[in-house]
Amino acid sequence: MPWIAVLLLLLLPANRRPQSWWVLLPMGVIWLIDAVLKAAAPEIFSDANDYLALVLTSLAFGVAVLWLLAGYLAGLSRPVAFLVATLIISASSILAYLIRADLSELTPVTAVFVVALLILSLLTALALVLSSLMCKRVYRPTRFLAWFGIFLLGGWLVISSPFIFVFLVVSLTQGGGPPTLEFLWGIVVFALLTFAVVLPFLLLSFVESRHKERFIALFGLPRVPQNAPAPPPVAPPSPLT
C-alpha cells in the first residue's frame, strides 16, 4: 500500500516530470536494506526489533510523501513549514505502519510504536527546519547534513532527559538503578537510525536538480552558490609612455 500511495502521488500535476520518479530510489534503498537484513539475520528481527524495522520503513514513506508534496509547499515560513512537515510525515508514516502492522494482537505495543512515529516525525521535521535556519546565509550540503545530525541527536537527548534524570537520581541515592550509559548509547543509536532513514532523501535533494529546487524552496535556503572562488584580479593597463 505505501508503494501504491507513492505511485498515486507521482500522478499529481507537480510530479509529472520524469525527475520526480527519482524519489523511488531512496525509498527503495531503505526497503531493500530492510529486506536484506531480515533475510540475512532473521533471528534478530523478532518481536520489538521487527516492529522497530516497521517503524523505520514507515518513516521513510512519510519522508517520501513530504518530498513529493514539496512542490505545493514552497514559500512557507519556517514555523509553518515545520508544522506542515510534521503533519505530513506523521500522518503518512502512521498510516503506512497501521496498514502493515498486525492489529489483531499487541494493541498496547502498536500504540507505543505509533507514539514513537509521532516523535520521529516531530524530530525529523524540527531538525530539517532548524538545519535550514543555520544554513540560511551559507548553504552547503555537508553543512546541512552536519547540523541535521546535531539537531537529531539533541532532540533525542531533550526528549529522553526526564528518564536520564530519573536514572541518575536512582543511581546516586540507591547505589544502583538502570544503566545510564547503556540508555545514552541507545539514544545515540536511535538518532543514527533516524539519520540513516532520512539521509538517502537528502542526498537526492543535493544531486538531482528538480528535487534540489523543491528542497531549497521548501526550507528557504539560498539559491546562489556559496563560497564561490573570487575571480582572479585583473591588472590595470600599464600607462602609456
Positive/negative CA dihedral, 8, 207, 138, 190 = positive
**Residue 144 near residue 131 (C-beta atoms within 8 A):** yes
Task: Quote the CA–CA distance of 201 and 64 in Å, as a whole number.
Answer: 8
Query: What CA–CA distances, in Å, run from 173 to 36, 169, 170, 178, 184?
Result: 46, 6, 5, 12, 20
Task: Quote the CA–CA distance of 67 and 87 in Å, as a whole number.
Answer: 13
Query: What CA–CA distances, in Å, run from 178 to 22, 45, 63, 163?
Result: 45, 25, 34, 10
Positive/negative CA dihedral, 152, 156, 157, 159 = positive
The structural domain count of the chain equals 1
C-alpha cell at 43: 533471528
Q: Specify the 3-state DSSP secondary structure of 68.
A: helix
The verdict on residue 27 lying in a domain is yes
End-to-end CA distance of the chain: 82
Q: What integer is the mean pLDDT of 135-151?
A: 92
Cell 543511581 sits on residue? 171
DSSP, residue by residue, 199-235: HHHHHHHHH-HHHHHHHHHHHT---SPSSPPPPPPPP
Q: Kindly state the greatest CA–CA separation across the chain.
A: 96
pLDDT in tens, 26-80: 888 887 887 777 666 656 556 656 677 788 888 999 999 999 998 888 888 888 9
**pTM of the predicted protein model:** 0.81
C-alpha cell at 50: 521487527
The verdict on residue 73 lying in a domain is yes
The verdict on residue 227 lying in a domain is no
- Chain center to CA of 105: 29
Domain limits for position 215: 2-165+192-219
The verdict on residue 123 lying in a domain is yes
**Residue 164 near residue 184 (C-beta atoms within 8 A):** yes
The verdict on residue 185 lying in a domain is no
**What is the reported pLDDT for 129?**
93
- Provide the 10 A C-beta neighbour count for residue 82: 20
Q: What integer is the mean pLDDT of 78-93?
A: 91
Instruction: Round the average pLDDT of the chain to a whole number and report it.
Output: 80
Query: What CA–CA distances, in Å, run from 194 to 24, 30, 60, 187?
Result: 19, 12, 9, 11
Q: Flag the least confident range among 54-68, 69-83, 156-170, 184-198.
A: 156-170
Q: What integer is the mean pLDDT of 216-234?
A: 66
The verdict on residue 64 lying in a domain is yes
The verdict on residue 52 lying in a domain is yes
The verdict on residue 180 lying in a domain is no
